[in-house]
C-alpha cells in the first residue's frame, strides 16, 4: 500500500482561485516534501517541511504539517494556468536516509 495517500485525486479550478491538496502518510518521518510534475516530464521539488515544523511558505505555496495526524496540505494561492500539473507528496523516513516514498498524487487543472 502507498505510504502517502493524496486527495483529491483530481482537482479542477479557475485561474485566480486557490487550490488545496492533502497528503496522509503512515509511518514516522524526518521530513515531507512536495513535488510538481508537468505532463510526461520529470519531477520538480517545490518545498520541504521538517517534522518539527508546522507551516512553511514559499512564494504562492503554503505547506502545513500535522505529525499527530500524519497529514500535510499544500495550498497554492492565486492559481495560474501554468500551475496545471500533478502534485506529489513524498516522505523521508524517521532516521533519514535516501529513500523517499511518494504519495498517489493529485492532478490539478487550472482553467482560464
Interacting residue ranges for another protein, rule: CB under 8 A? 2, 30-31, 33, 35, 40-45, 48, 86, 88, 91-93, 95-100, 102-105, 107
What cell numbers appear for 106 in the block?
493529485
Residue 51's region, left for phi above 0, alpha for psi from -120 to 50, else beta, is alpha
What is residue 60's three-state secondary structure?
coil
Cα angle 47-68-50, degrees, rounded to a multiple of 5: 25
Q: Which is closer to another protein, CB of 79 or CB of 91? A: 91
Minimum CB separation of residue 16 from another protein in Å reads 27
Q: Which is closer to another protein, CB of 19 or CB of 105? A: 105
Q: Which is closer to another protein, CB of 79 or CB of 86? A: 86
Strand ranges (E), 26-112: 29-37, 43-50, 55-58, 61-66, 71-76, 85-93, 101-102, 106-111
Minimum CB separation of residue 57 from another protein in Å reads 17
Q: Which is closer to another protein, CB of 19 or CB of 90? A: 90
Minimum CB separation of residue 95 from another protein in Å reads 7
Amino acid at each position: 500500500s502507498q505510504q502517502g495517500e493524496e486527495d483529491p485525486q483530481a482537482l479542477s479550478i479557475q485561474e485566480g482561485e486557490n487550490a488545496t491538496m492533502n497528503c496522509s502518510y503512515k509511518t514516522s518521518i524526518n521530513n515531507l516534501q512536495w513535488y510538481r510534475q508537468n505532463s510526461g516530464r520529470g519531477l520538480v521539488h517545490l518545498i520541504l517541511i521538517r517534522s518539527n515544523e508546522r507551516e512553511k511558505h514559499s512564494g504562492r505555496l503554503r505547506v502545513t504539517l500535522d505529525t499527530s495526524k500524519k497529514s500535510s496540505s499544500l495550498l497554492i494561492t492565486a492559481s495560474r494556468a501554468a500551475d496545471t500539473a500533478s502534485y506529489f507528496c513524498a516522505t523521508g523516513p524517521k532516521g533519514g536516509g535516501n529513500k523517499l516514498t511518494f504519495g498517489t498524487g493529485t492532478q490539478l487543472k487550472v482553467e482560464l
